[in-house]
Amino acid sequence: MLTTLSITFGQTMMPIPGHATVYGPWTRGYYFTAPVNFTITGLRVPTDASGSFQHVEVVRFTAGAPPAYSATTNSFVFLAQHYNVNSTTIIPVSIPITAGQTIGVYGGRSSSTGGGCSTSNSYGSCVSPDGYPTTISGSRTTLYRSGYQHDICSTPASNIWYENCSGYYIGRVELYYGTPLSSSYTSFSGKLNDKETEVNLNWAFSNDNYDYCIVERAGNEPYSITPVPVEPLVNEYVNSDGVTIREPIRTLVNTDEWQAKKFVEIGRFNTKQPNFTFTDTKPLVGKSYYRIKRVGKDGNYECSNVIEIEYGVKPSRIVNLYPNPVVNSVQFEFVVSQNGAVTVELYNAQGKEVYSHTTNAITGTNLFMMNMADFKPGNYFLRIRTQDGIVSRKFLVAH
């Protein structure tokens, strides 16, 4: 499986309010209008309230911003759903966002998973009744208090609302976005070969202002490292509310840190040419991260974007659901990485469980069929609990 990430060594965290208090179990977060085109490259629930399992969702609203509480909306599509992630680090994603889109981000952490789980999250002050002023790629936007009245670890987002920030707080979920590294890199991509035994990498440069380039790879295990210190650069300005904003600008040289991973050299090119190819003949089992490093004669260097490639492991996932919308019955195909019991659950738009069935699945693709003739029209959320975690899909019943 290949996931091309726009995460670069210079990825930036969108400013969010500092920790003020703790809230739970209902789910909170924020929504905002994208001020520019950008790519969400990472998500993380802070550990101020809890350091246990993190759960994060990103949605795009399709009919404008969510309404003021107690009115709610289900006019949105999921852009990311990550549940029961047993990690305190950033969850890498690649979600392109277009200027003008209304985006919601929600999350929490829980000490357990499955039935009866309950989340908590860090709360931050809104600064003003209108919301929290922030920036993405130097362009200003506002985070608005938003959430829904059930727990993210038990039921996907539904019935989302907005609320004035006067006297309230915003659920803190860190959002990271990619910033262009350099015009020197015109492309970097990779994939498994047809037999899924090797990894093929391809990249190109727009100029030859370098001495040599290196292919680097990191495994999925975190590694404790100390980056080489560089002089911090700061962009400072006063926003429309009179608040002084200080945004760090990271340089493009002298670091070996990305997501606490240790990159090692697996290939080197001493020639200068417009296009390159490289084959990793012995890829690591599991997830690997690849990047290209251009090194100048003075020893300074710049790094490409990082791409993630999974080899030898096929995690649980839903590969097909049809028809959608559903008239009388629905079929879905899902893949599991090992034999064992799975639980198929169905929730309505109000977050109420309306169906649950446990069955045995075999390694590979499994087919499941449900009669939906007696179910009321509307949106439903399918969740399959496997030994790898939870996978989910939204669909519509329209008799």
Sorted by where each begins, the domain ranges of the chain are 8-177, 185-311, 317-397
pLDDT at 228: 36
Q: What's residue 265's pLDDT? A: 93
Q: How many C-beta neighbours within 10 Å does residue 103 have?
A: 21
Query: Do the domains spanning 185-311 and 317-397 agree at the CATH topology level?
Result: yes
Residues 6+ away with beta carbon under 8 Å from 194: none
Identify the DSSP state of 194.
T
Long-range contacts of 140-144 (CB under 8 A, 24+ apart): 140/35, 140/239, 140/240, 141/32, 141/33, 141/34, 141/35, 142/32, 142/33, 143/16, 143/30, 143/31, 143/32, 143/170, 144/30, 144/31, 144/32, 144/65
pLDDT tens track of the chain, all 399 residues? 333 333 333 468 899 999 999 998 999 999 999 987 788 888 999 999 888 899 999 999 999 999 999 899 999 999 999 999 998 889 988 788 888 899 999 999 998 777 678 899 999 998 888 899 998 877 889 999 999 999 998 889 999 999 988 778 999 999 998 654 444 667 788 988 887 788 999 998 877 778 899 999 988 654 433 333 334 445 565 544 455 655 544 333 333 445 557 788 999 999 888 899 999 988 886 678 898 988 877 676 777 778 888 776 566 778 788 888 998 888 888 878 778 888 989 998 888 888 988 888 887 678 888 888 889 999 999 999 888 788 889 999 987
Query: How would DSSP label each residue in 132-181?
Result: EEEEETTEEEEEEEEEESS-TTTS---SBEE---TT-EEE--EEEE----
Burial 66-84 (b: 16+ CB within 10 A, else e): beebeebbbebebbebbbb
Contact 311, 286 (CB under 8 A): yes
Residue 63's identity, in one-letter code, is A
pLDDT at 230: 37
Residue 217: per-residue pLDDT:
92
- Which helix (H) or strand (E) is 75 found in, with range? none
Choosing among 2.60.120, 2.60.40, 1.10.287, 3.40.50, the CATH entry for 8-177 is 2.60.120
Please state, in angstroms and rounded to a whole number, the distance separating the CA atoms of residues 44 and 48: 12
State residue 1's pLDDT score.
31
Question: What pTM does this model have?
Answer: 0.48
Question: Taking a C-beta distance cutoff of 8 angstroms, is the pair 147, 24 a contact?
Answer: no
**Topology classification of domain 317-397:** Immunoglobulin-like (2.60.40)
CATH of 185-311 given 2.60.40.10, 3.30.1330.40, 3.30.750.24, 1.10.760.10: 2.60.40.10
Do residues 34 and 99 make contact, with C-beta atoms less than 8 angstroms apart?
A: yes
* CA-CA-CA-CA torsion sign (21, 27, 30, 36): positive
What residues contact residue 120 under an 8 Å CB cut-off, 6+ apart? 22, 23, 24, 25, 49, 50, 108, 109, 110
Instruction: Specify the pLDDT at position 259.
Output: 54
Q: Is 164 exposed, middle or buried (0-12, 13-18, 19+ CB in 10 A)?
A: middle
